[in-house]
Chain A
Amino acid sequence: MKQIKIQQQNFVLHSSGAIYWIEKATLMLADPHLGKIAHFRKNGIAVPRKAEGVFYNKVARIVDQFEIKRFLFLGDLFHSYQNNEWYMFRSWVKNQKAKIILVEGNHDVIPAYKFEKIGITVVKELIEEYFCFSHFPSKKEGYFTFCGHVHPGIKLKGSGLQKLKMPCFFNSTYQMILPAFGAFTGLHILIPKKEDKIYVTTGKEVIEIGEN
């Protein structure tokens, strides 16, 4: 875990890929892509079912560590609509005391009223304090953006011709892109500029990477 300050507010970057906003007791997650595995299976591609449960285990571990008053999903909560996955998610929602907000993403094909029926607020974009929360990366004058969509990853180099690709939090001057929270989601490798800050997550630790 790693604590950072943005616009005088405190945020914890969690090794799972989530961000905890301390002042607002809010947990942000991007791109869980629930139902992706089921979607593949429905189309005859046999991804092991067991991989589907990862989301709930990961969230449960975070819930143990923080006091969470609000969940904020930054889009692509569902990869596509699958009955089983929806029932599983619904029963998870029932057990949460915290408020749940979903910022809509491009994969979110489940209509908003279905979410609202189980008590989730659905928005296109959320503005709070000097922050903008959206699915897609965006530059909004006067605001700092938190977003997902990209599934950011980074290429690392080391002596002895070592190379490594890792998921990361990608922090530029005006926005923070969260890594994909879901299993079986893949990486999109970004090349940072000098002013960007990169926090690699290994699942166990969050490590800030320096330049050479």
Chain B
Amino acid sequence: MTTVQKWFENKKWTPQDFQKKCWKAYSEGKSGMLHAPTGSGKTFALWGGILNEARLRKKHPAGIQAIWITPLRALAVEIQQATQSITDDLNTDLKISLRTGDTSQSERAKQKRKPSFGLVTTPESLHVLISAKDHRKSFNHLNVIVVDEWHELLGTKRGVQIELAIAYLRALLPNLKVWGISATLGNKNLSREILLGSIKNYIIINAKIKKKIKVKSILPKNMESFPWRGHLGIHLLPQVLRLIRKNKTTLIFTNTRAQCEIWFYQILDSDPKLAGEIAMHHGSIDKKIRLWVEDALRNEKLKVVVCTSSLDLGVDFSPVENCIQIGSPKGVGRFIQRAGRSGHNPKAGSTIHFLPTHAIELIESVALQRGIEHQKIEDRIPFLNSYDVLLQFLMTLAVGSGFYPQKLFPIIQNTFCFQTLNKERWKWIINFLVKGSQSLEHYDEYKKVTILENGLLKVLNKGIVMRHRLSMGTIISDSSLKIRYQKGGYLGSIEEWFVTKLKKGDVFTFSGRNLELIRLHNMEVIVRKSKSKKTRIPSWIGGRMSFSANLSELLKKVLYEKDSYNTPEFKALAPVFFQQQLESIIPKSNQFLIERFQTKEGFHTVFYPFEGYAIHEAMASLMAYRISLLLPITFSMSFNDYGFELLSDKPFLKEAFLDNNLLTKDHLNEDLEKSINISEMARRRFRDIAVISGLVFQGFPNKPIKTKHLQSGSQLFYDVFKDYEPKNLLYQQALEETFDHGMEHGRMNRVFEKISIQKIEWKQCSQPTPFSFPLITDRIRSKLSSESVEDRIKKMYLQLEKSGK
């Protein structure tokens, strides 16, 4: 019997099958992939194997032997505690330490002097370790890397970071084992291939734990007054308060931090007795406060926590009895994960309440229920050719020990992300780092990476080293400022653009408190508490999530099937459906609906493909582009998961649209490419690319350094590349990402094939329909124009400063 098995026995626990399988596979020296839901005991499955092996060894060398990577800092703390506690129970003196962005300088130095057996860290911090000059020495004894919650990382640029780090470390240490832990995914095989790469000796283990998940929609009493649009859902507050009172603890999931703040405020405002028992948890709140909330939740001190995805993962909160999801969770997988937060006993079922923020979301609720029923978990789509992340990684090596391009090239090519990287592009990338461009016509003072005599590429300039170290990582946020009380004490951070809109004395809500702005000082926002009720709520610019292909299929099915009309959700929707059908229709599977109406804003044309945000974004540009070839016209476009809207100051004719067959799939890729070139989509993509690749240096609030002369917006970079260096790979990457990411390959083609056998229903309406409402009221828009700038300007006007200011 192994050490860990004995430990289980002493605790009177029975190991589950997947845990035993993991221990065995690990003892046989295998790498692998474990698919198990959060809270199922997956940490013991892997850590057990690692400890069993460690116990066989009498003496341990000084050096890290196991690295455990988690996507969230909060999670890292949890894992470190859990693994240290079992390690202590087994009477070993092995230490597991924690290394994240929050780790202090002195602790880092200590870890370097005296490395511990295990290290729990994040993808960014792992890269920081690789950037050390003597990193080879620190990794000398490394046996295994475990990547926890791999499904969260896959499909993001942080996933690419992991791919690069693992490929690099495996080249140093050919016997390194790699394990992934992931929730269930649609594309399991691909997810394994990406993480384990060319490793042959692997195993896939599936935990067979099926949790019963019940979804209940929170329905309004009176549907007539239920809004057609909105994203807050506050009108259902009484029902939420009732649920809070009924249960011991409730987790309320919101999709954005602003939503989180508002719900917290509203709940407390209408039930002040909850003070002391209610807390908030989101990514901008100070670490100390977040940790306190997590502890209090575990110790059953809280009755309700309003949170964002910051509490999605890992951390075990057994007392949670009840979960409420505000607004669409955008995917079956995420919804299951959130539902799994309640009823944490593996065998108990979970209940999650879905709170629709507007009428149409009730259809989504039914689709989600079907998805859970049939376990339709979505795929995560990996990034390909992320040159920005590659450039960052090469800099990471260059500021540390340096690298030899010829040696590194095959290692990079070995990753999934860069499998198609060819010699020319590799040369381009190296040139970009060394010369700053491809031509060497002029003598130029460009300085970044230097080629040493022995061919080693290294950064010599100290300023460049420092700026790179400060900006490593791929999560992008607008530059943020810390919020501090005048008397001391940090509350968290807030994005700069929001603060710049505030004047001294203005009151805003943060972390559930009303705060008055006193002044800005050294990149800190100094505040004091305020009793004022007139307050502003900051919004954070976060990525918008799109429906997965899965969910959009489910949604269409639900809409087309007669059965759905027997669900309580559809029954509640009856008045909305009635209104929709007055002038328009609810499309059937053989119909493609287009609505046209006029408001004082202009001419609205609304299309309903029901294919998800990502597809609609591209489709809107494509349609706008094709129409703009018929006449000079400017469009403002909005999109959601159901459809998209083209708004213009002059109409285009139904006949012209239909006769020219603008919904054809002919020349689809050509037209898409052209539309992406002239629309603003790629420009937005470029924002992240510019930061990740190091073009835009954001600086750091707590590390004020002189960078003012080096700061420039990504927009300016986009424009100069477009005008002067269109072959620049970073510019090209923006176009490619717009074209590819968020859509499975070939999905756009399939969408247009479907449309080609549908009947186009163009409905002329006298006013906006319920289906169109969320679209036409959306203020986040993009534009596409075939008019000249001069012609457009001549039709426009100024917005003057309001008098009295």
- Taking CB atoms and an 8 Å cut-off, the chain A residues in 184-203 that contact chain B are 184-186, 191-194, 198, 200, 202
Does A45 have its Cβ within 8 Å of any Cβ on chain B? yes
* Chain A residues whose C-beta falls within 8 Å of the C-beta of B453 in the assembled complex: none
Contact of B725 with A84 in the complex, beta carbons under 8 Å: no
Please list 9 pairs of residues, one from A and one from B, whose beta carbons are closer than 8 Å in the complex, sorted by A's number.
A38-B444, A41-B444, A48-B437, A49-B437, A161-B781, A166-B793, A191-B801, A209-B793, A212-B797
Q: Which of A43, A184, A193, A198 is the one whose CB lies under 8 Å from B720? A: A184
B790:A159 contact, CB within 8 angstroms: no
B interface, how many residues as a size bin?
35 or more
Check if B712 sits within 8 Å of A184, measured CB to CB. yes
Choose among A47, A82, A200 the residue with the greatest number of B CB atoms under 10 Å from its CB: A47
Contact of A42 among B445, B717, B797 (CB under 8 A): B445
Task: Tell whether A49 pairs with B800 under 8 Å between CB atoms, given A159-B602, A184-B712, A205-B790.
Answer: no
Contact B445 A83 (CB under 8 A): yes
Contact with A along B779-802 (1 / 0, CB 8 A): 001010000011011111111110
- CB-contact partner of B442 in A44, A84, A184, A185, under 8 A: A84
With an 8 A cutoff between CB atoms, is B647 at the interface?
A: yes
When A84-B442, A184-B712, A209-B793 are in contact, do A44 and B798 touch as well, CB less than 8 Å?
no
A191 to B799: give the CA distance in the assembly, Å: 7
User: Residue B716 at the A interface, CB < 8 A?
Assistant: yes
Query: Considering only CB atoms, which chain A residue lies closest to B723 in the complex?
Result: A51
Tell me the minimal C-beta distance from B97 to chain A in angstroms. Answer: 33
Number of interface residues of A (CB under 8 A): 50
Tell me if B636 and A43 are in contact (CB < 8 A): no
CB pair B720 A183 closer than 8 Å? yes
Q: How far is the CB of B6 from chain A (nearest CB, A)?
A: 56
Closest to B446 in A: A41
Contact between A154 and B723 (Cβ–Cβ < 8 Å)? no
B447 contact set on A, CB distance < 8 A: 41-44
Is A111 part of the contact surface with B, judged by Cβ < 8 Å? no
The answer to whether B712 touches A154 (Cβ under 8 A) is no
Contact residues of B between 746 and 805, Cβ < 8 Å to A: 781, 783, 789-790, 792-801, 803
Q: Is the CB of A159 within 8 A of B793?
A: no
Given that A184-B716, A192-B800 are contacting pairs, would A159 and B443 also be in contact in the complex, using a CB cutoff of 8 Å?
no
CB distance from B381 to the nearest CB of A (A): 29
Check if B723 sits within 8 Å of A160, measured CB to CB.
no
Interface string of B454-469 (1 = CB under 8 A from A): 0000010101100100
Q: Are A43 and B464 in contact (CB under 8 A)?
A: yes
B717 with A38: CB separation less than 8 A: no
Q: Is B437 a contact partner of A46 (Cβ separation < 8 A)?
A: yes
Whether a CB of chain B sits under 8 angstroms from the CB of A40 is: yes
Asked whether A60 is an interface residue with its Cβ less than 8 Å from the other chain, the reply is no
The distance in angstroms between the C-alpha atoms of A40 and B649, with both chains bound, is: 41
In the complex, the answer to whether B792 meets A161 with C-beta atoms within 8 Å is no
Mark out the residues of chain A between 156 and 186 whose CB falls within 8 Å of any chain B CB in the assembled complex.
Answer: 156-164, 166, 183-186
B contacts, CB < 8 Å to A: 432, 436-437, 442-449, 459, 461, 463-464, 467, 601-603, 634-636, 647-649, 694-695, 697, 709-710, 712-713, 716-717, 720-721, 723-725, 728, 781, 783, 789-790, 792-801, 803
Known: A160-B636, A162-B636. A45 touches B710 (CB 8 A): yes
| Bound CA–CA A199/B304 (angstroms) | 55
A39 at the interface (CB under 8 A from B): yes
Any B CB within 8 A of the CB of A211: yes
| Apart from the given pairs A84-B443, A156-B797, A159-B795, 11 other A-B contacts in the complex at a CB distance below 8 Å | A40-B710, A43-B464, A45-B697, A50-B725, A51-B723, A82-B445, A84-B442, A183-B720, A184-B712, A202-B790, A210-B797
Contact call A211/B798, Cβ cutoff below 8 A = yes
- Per the bound structure, the CA–CA distance linking A205 and B795 in Å amounts to 15
Kindly state whether residue A204 has any CB partner on chain B within 8 Å. Answer: yes
Is A79 on the interface with B (CB-CB < 8 A)? yes
A110: interface (CB < 8 Å)? no
Residues of A within 8 A of B443 (CB): 84
Q: Is A139 an interface position by the 8 A CB rule?
A: no
Given contacts A44-B447, A79-B709, contact A158 B442 (CB under 8 A): no
> By the criterion CB–CB under 8 Å, are B799 and A161 in contact?
no
Asked if B792 and A43 make an inter-chain contact with CB atoms under 8 angstroms apart, the answer reads no
A51 contacts across to B, CB distance below 8 A: 720, 723-724
Contact across chains for A207 and B790 when beta carbons are under 8 A apart: yes
Q: What residues of chain B lie closer than 8 Å to A205, measured between beta carbons? A: 790
Which residues of chain A are within 8 angstroms of B800 by Cβ–Cβ distance?
A: 191-194, 211
B88 to chain A, nearest CB (A): 47
The verdict on A80 contacting chain B, using a C-beta distance below 8 Å, is yes
Closest Cβ of chain A to B390, distance in Å, is: 15
Closest to A44 in B: B448
Whether A186 pairs with B789 at a CB distance below 8 angstroms is no
The 10 closest A-B pairs by CB, nearest first: A44-B448, A160-B602, A160-B649, A212-B797, A46-B436, A158-B796, A48-B724, A156-B796, A48-B725, A159-B649
| Across-interface contacts of B432 in A (CB, < 8 A) | 46
Closest Cβ–Cβ distance, residue B700 to chain A (whole Å):
17
CB contact between B793 and one of A164, A194, A212 (< 8 Å): that residue: A164
A207 near B793: Cβ-Cβ < 8 Å: yes
Q: Is the CB of A160 within 8 A of B789?
A: no
**Chain B residues, Cβ within 8 Å of A69:** none
A46 to chain B: which residues have CB within 8 Å? 432, 436-437, 446, 448, 695
| Residue in chain B with minimal CB distance to A168 | B798
A158 to chain B, nearest CB (A): 4
Give residues of chain A (81-118) contacting chain B, Cβ–Cβ below 8 Å.
Answer: 82-84, 107
Nearest CB in chain B: distance from A146 CB, A: 22
Residues of B within 8 A of A166 (CB): 789, 793
Q: Chain A contacts of B717 at CB under 8 A?
A: 47
> CB of A155 within 8 A of chain B?
yes
B783 to chain A, nearest CB (A): 7
Q: CA A107 – CA B443 in complex, angstroms?
A: 24
Report the minimal beta-carbon distance from B590 to chain A, rounded to whole angstroms: 32
Nearest CB to that of B707 among chain A residues? A43
Of A44, A83, A157, which contacts B797 at CB under 8 A? A157
Instruction: For the complex formed, measure the closest distance between the CB of A165 and the CB atoms of chain B, giving whole angstroms.
Output: 10
B724 contact set on A, CB distance < 8 A: 48, 50-51
B436 nearest in chain A by CB position:
A46
Closest to B715 in A: A186
Residues of B within 8 A of A80 (CB): 709
Closest CB in chain A relative to B694 CB, distance in Å? 7
Across the interface, name the chain B residue whose C-beta is closest to A195: B800
User: What residues on A are CB-neighbors of B461 within 8 Å?
Assistant: 43-44
Say yes or no: B798 contacts A156, CB within 8 Å: yes
B466 to chain A, nearest CB (A): 11
In the complex, the chain A residue whose C-beta lies closest to that of B795 is A158
- The smallest C-beta distance from A42 to any residue of chain B, in angstroms, reads 4
Task: Report chain B residues within 8 Å CB of A191.
Answer: 799-801
